[in-house]
Amino acid sequence: MIAGARGLYLAIVSLAGSITLFVFSVLSIAFILLGIGVFTTPAVLTAVRKFANLRRVQAGEWSDVHIPAPYRKRPAGPRSGVTGQVERCSLMLKDPATWRDLQWLLVDMTAGFVVVIFAPALVLYPVYGWVLALGVWKPIYNAGGGEWYGFIHVNSQMAANGAAALGTALGVLALFVNPAVVRGHFLLARTLLAPTASMRERELAQRVDRLEETRHDAVDSSAAELRRIERDLHDGAQARLVAMGMDLGTIEALVEKDPAKAKEMIAKARQNSGEALTELRDLVRGIHPPVLAERGLGDAVKALALRLPVATDVDVDLPGRAEEPVEAAAYFAVSETLTNAVKYAEADRIWVDVHHEQGMLRIAVTDNGKGGAAMGAGSGLSGIERRLGTFDGVLAVSSPVGGPTMVTMEIPCELS
């Protein structure tokens, strides 16, 4: 029954939705020559992609048919106004996945509909056999009708009972066939909605280029981090330790001549040693926080939230731990995002969600600040994106003017 209901839904949506979106898409693309289509085409094609993505989700949830989305990613920081609209329209039309979506709409409204309509038919048609057996065959026969149910000519109660028996058999058959019918519909959709070999090769080449670029960024970041550590050691703890050594030499000379002065300098040396130890601890904490090493990403993010001057809710659902480099990258990405929310967004509440599903570590940081955050060269968000890119991770930012701002991070990884 569930497969039959799903089949009926898919039949209606395949016919009505695909026809409507295909007609709108063709008209909108044709109107590009008039200038109108430049503004309508991105909106229509976005609706087509949402429609196709919904079918992808249903294929996975209903029939365990995995259909990846092959769409090209839009570049960060697109221009606004007419120029940005023209650029967006051009990028969508140059994407091969757009034209495969339109081909799929044609197949979905024809072959896809024909395939999936069998699922509700195998549920509803048996009901008609029982309706005939309950006496409906008589007025039809008396009116001169020659009603047929399948291969049975229903002209008597005996024949009507045979129709009910055939209907029952078809109903039992539907229990086994309908899931396969629905799966067949999704398999047909996958032939056009899934990326082709050439598209996968292009995507792989793009990922290799991106990983190579982020690897160079990681090397540069590591070099800059080493220089920062050296500078902090030289200007901070090292200077204090040198001063403390000089004080100890002076104390050694004064311990017999001026015990009071020596005692005063011992107290100063003790203070310098404590401050040097504090600076070293802060430096080590900046390299790799102890709570991250000892208790994992979830507790480390909670510890970050406790130190913020803004009310912060943290929701963590991690059944295990990722590799140390991934945890460190995620931790510092969250740390910088929270700092931006407090420093620039003027938020008074922040929400952090950390969870892992389908081989992906997903982190969302949302604040109710003034919004307006954008990706761009030299921005903190670009630095976070480069950090995540080292692990083939991605960063998405939604920050309309007036807020709220949501920064979403995804890193592919497995938990242990």
Q: Report DSSP letters for 81-135, one per residue.
A: HHHHHHHHHHHHHH-HHHHHHHHHHHHIIIIIHHHHTHHHHHHHHHHHHHHIIII
The mean per-residue pLDDT over the stretch 83-106 comes to 87
Q: What are phi and psi of 25, to 5 degrees?
A: -65, -45
Q: What is the pLDDT of residues 46-55, one digit of tens each?
A: 999 999 999 9
Q: Which residue has the higher pLDDT, 314 or 255?
A: 314
Superfamily of domain 295-412: Histidine kinase-like ATPase, C-terminal domain (3.30.565.10)
Contacts 24+ apart (CB under 8 A), 217-221: 217/386, 217/389, 217/390, 218/386, 218/387, 218/390, 221/386, 221/387
Residue 5 in contact with residue 62, Cβ under 8 Å? no
What is the model's pTM? 0.52
DSSP one-letter string for 201-240: HHHHHHHHHHHHHHHHHHHHHHHHHHHHHHHHIIIIIHHH
The pLDDT > 90 percentage for the chain reads 18
What is the predicted pLDDT for the residue at 207?
Answer: 63
Of the two residues 304 and 366, the one the predictor is more confident about is: 366
Phi-psi region of 285 (alpha: psi -120 to 50; beta: other; left: phi over 0): alpha
- CB-based contact 305:338 (threshold 8 Å): yes
Examine the pLDDT at 285 and tell me if it is beyond 70: no
**Model confidence at 415, in pLDDT bands (50, 70, 90)?**
confident
Q: Which residues pair with 192 in a beta bridge?
A: none
The secondary structure of residue 345, as a DSSP letter, is S
> Mind listing the pLDDT tens digit for each residue in 195-240?
876 666 666 666 666 666 656 555 555 555 556 556 655 555 566 6
* pLDDT computed for residue 158 by the predictor: 83
Q: Where are the domains of the chain?
A: 1-195, 198-287, 295-412
More confident residue, 286 or 252: 252
pLDDT at 185 over 50: yes
Both tokens assigned to 178:
């309908």
- pLDDT given for residue 183 in this prediction: 93
Asked if residue 81 has pLDDT above 60, the reply is no
Query: What is the sign, positive or negative, of the torsion defined by CA atoms of 227, 229, 230, 232?
Result: positive
Higher pLDDT, 18 or 145: 18
Question: How high is the pLDDT of residue 271?
Answer: 72
Averaged pLDDT score across all residues of the chain: 79
Q: How confident is the model over 158-181, as pLDDT tens digits?
A: 887 887 888 888 778 878 888 999
pLDDT tens profile 315-368: 988 888 888 888 888 888 888 888 888 888 778 889 999 998 888 889 989 888
Per the model's pLDDT, the better-predicted residue between 135 and 278 turns out to be 135
In terms of Cα–Cα distance, which of 250, 391, 272 is closest to 324? 391
